[in-house]
Amino acid sequence: MLIASVLVGYFLGSIPAGVVVGRWIGVDLRKSGSGNIGFTNAVRVLGSEKNGKWLSATILLWDMGKGTLAVWLAPHLSSQPLAPIGAGFAAFLGHLYPVWLRFRGGKGVAVGFGVCLGLSWLLGVALLSLWAIVFAATRVSSISALTAYFFLPLMAAFLTRNGLLPPEDLLYLVILSLLVWMHHHANIRRLVRGEEGPFRKKEKRP
């Protein structure tokens, strides 16, 4: 059933890696740094903690993994063509609006990477590579995410046109990209005002 794959996808996406890992070491990401539960804020906040790099990497892989897993599990739960993208999109929405956190989640960047990797490794690698190139050049996480997700619909359209991505995936990926941009509205305002600085880790506590 399609509904089963969608529900499983939402459940996987709604498990907040940043909150779980943070609580494990006594840090609440929602009350530290930017207050976001995603990877960038995790690196910024947990970088000052013991094994901070490993903890941040765990959050990144967890968030990406739940998007990929939702896509991969979908065909085992439903034979409908929309099942993989439906489950992946549900996982993305679960991360943005997790029921466990009163529907206040992250911005969806890492989960979106995972969904794209699950749908097409070519799309996922291209999206991640673009993010990495822009981040290396600017050191501004928001610019990297906004650039990558600006080009995501174009990359998806190219793969669709060449038969490398199902046509039904394209609309969902366009909406996914728009939602990432919407959840970066505060970052966009700071960018326009010239107030969005380069990424820095939080200084170690004395």
Q: What is the pLDDT of residues 5-63, one digit of tens each?
A: 999 999 999 998 888 887 887 777 787 777 777 777 777 777 655 666 788 888 899 99
**pTM given for the model:** 0.90
- DSSP-assigned letters across all residues of the chain: -HHHHHHHHHHHHHS-HHHHHHHHTT--GGGSTTS--SHHHHHHHHTTSTTHHHHHHHHHHHHHHHHHHHHHHHHHH--STTHHHHHHHHHHHHHHS-GGGTT-----HHHHHHHHHHH-HHHHHHHHHHHHHHHHHH--HHHHHHHHHHHHHHHHHHHHHTTSS-HHHHHHHHHHHHHHHHTTHHHHHHHHHT--PPP-PPPPP-
- Mean pLDDT for the chain? 89
Query: 143 vs 17, 31, 40, 58, 139, CA distance in Å?
Result: 23, 23, 12, 23, 9
What are the residue ranges spanned by the domains of the chain? 2-193
Region of poorest pLDDT, from 42-46, 145-149, 156-160: 42-46
204 pLDDT tier (thresholds 50, 70, 90):
very low
pLDDT of residue 113: 97
